[in-house]
């Protein structure tokens, strides 16, 4: 965990549905007697998407389709592929 915290430092962390992932990360940090993530450094694309597309599906797949982002190879969930897709979605969300 120390290596992870050193790696992210004070960077902004872009997460889709951050409350889910941050819950796991913070639980591990607590288990390691470390401080929880600073919420100010977390950008939740789910919240951004819900504000932009009220009442519509805002899953990562749905957002990729809305922005014509290629979903080829996303047959199976994969962290690296999802991170790359989310980076593209985030750039579209912020204009």
Residue range 78-92: average pLDDT?
94
Question: SS3 of 52, please?
Answer: helix
pLDDT beyond 90 at 92: yes
12, 31, 35, 77: the active-site residue: 77
Residue range 24-38: average pLDDT?
95
In this prediction, residue 35 has a pLDDT band, given cuts at 50, 70 and 90, of very high
Question: What are the tens digits of pLDDT across the range 54-76?
Answer: 999 999 999 999 999 999 888 77
CA dihedral 72, 77, 80, 81 (to 10 degrees): 20
Q: Alpha-carbon distance 21 to 62, whole Å? A: 19
Could you confirm whether 77 is annotated as catalytic?
A: yes
């Amino acid at each position: 965990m120390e290596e992870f915290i050193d790696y992210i430092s004070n960077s902004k962390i872009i997460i889709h549905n951050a409350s889910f992932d941050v819950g796991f990360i913070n639980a591990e940090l607590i288990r390691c007697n470390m401080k929880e993530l600073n919420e100010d450094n977390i950008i939740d694309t789910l919240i951004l998407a819900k504000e932009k597309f009220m009442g519509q599906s805002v899953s990562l797949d749905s957002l990729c389709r809305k922005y014509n982002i290629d979903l080829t190879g996303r047959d199976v969930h994969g962290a690296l592929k999802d991170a790359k897709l989310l980076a593209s979605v985030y750039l579209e969300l912020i204009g």
